[in-house]
Amino acid sequence: MPPPVTPNNKRPRAAKSAEKPPPFTPTPSAIGLMTNARTPTYSTGDIDGASPPPERRVEAGHANATLITPGGTQVQPSFSNFEEPSPSRPTANGINTGSLLETACNHLLTVDPSLKSLIEKHHCRVFSPEGLSEEIDPFRSLSSGIMAQQVSGAAASSIKKKFINLFPAEQCPSGFPPPALVAQQTIPRLREAGLSQRKAEYIQGMASQFASDDLTASFLLDAPDEEVMKKLVAVRGLGAWSVEMFMCFALKRMDVFSTGDLGVQRGMAAYVGKDVKKLKAKGGGKWKYMSEKDMLETAEKFRPYRSLFMWYMWRIEEVDTTAVEDNA
């Protein structure tokens, strides 16, 4: 809030300062730590390169990432051909990793052809064949997200490195300590990485849930979006926004939509024709470019690809989400 202005009857008012700019999007620069995307293990044609990622089916209502279990096993999405479709779990027959992005973009254009120039200008790597080939370690991703809360990107990276170094490398085959190992550590030991008391408790508690199979890779792969959201926001240390970003950028779920992200709010306000530079927080309270109701109503027609629509709403106002997509 701006500093209080002294009444005129006491002394002349100081020269009016420049209007306070709106807050930046809450998207922290360190959220790239959540994605844990490994360097692709394939090439685009080098004679000595590895094979390209195999084509596999993808579906809008499920995770489309390949996940790594606490034991280091690679688990790919698998969808039954006999599954009954429902409005809350749309099917995507015939869509695979090579065609998902094109299919989703075509859907956006069918709904609103005016998005064509925006889509042509910006390539969404997240849902491209390259992005869908990345392997994701859910425990590492979610732990990294907790480490990054309310600190700079540089500080989050430093904490993450110190955290990893707390554990013997031979016990961390994936490069990150497995949940069972973390769950066994004391809070004072975890705090040696630079974690606060509360963050250390959050990560240790979540590690216990992964180690006990209360949270599993198979659940994160196959459960409907609503169930994954409900399960993860119940984990201490994870809020709705953190879970939404994890579901979109790590799990590669196609129908995630965040109304709490200021960058999305700002982009959507511009999308519907508002002059975002003239919008102000009402009553001096929390800044909001667009109401949640209006955002949901506008985004509804872009189902089941609201994740991609959200990504393009960031692009409208050039909100920097590079770190969200960067490899950890």
- Nearest-angstrom CA–CA distance, 317 and 186: 44
Q: Give the residue carrying structure tokens 């999305």.
A: 264
Contact 290, 268 (CB under 8 A): yes
Token readout for 312 is 């393009």
* 215 in Cβ contact with 231 (< 8 Å): yes
- By C-alpha distance, which of 115, 169, 130, 163 is closest to 44? 130
Query: Which residue numbers are catalytic?
Result: 261
For the chain, the first-to-last Cα distance in angstroms comes to: 35
User: Which parts of 148-261 fold into alpha helices (H)?
Assistant: 153-165, 179-183, 187-191, 197-211, 217-222, 225-233, 240-245
Closest to 269 (Cα-Cα) out of 293, 295, 287, 244:
295
Query: Which two structure tokens, joined as six digits, stand for 179?
Result: 């949940």
Which H helix or E strand runs over 141?
helix 138-147
Report the alpha-carbon distance of residue 214 to residue 231 in Å, rounded: 10
CA 227 to centroid of chain Cα atoms = 17
| Helix, strand, coil percentages, rounded to 5, for the chain | 45, 5, 50
In 10 A of CB 69, how many CB atoms? 18
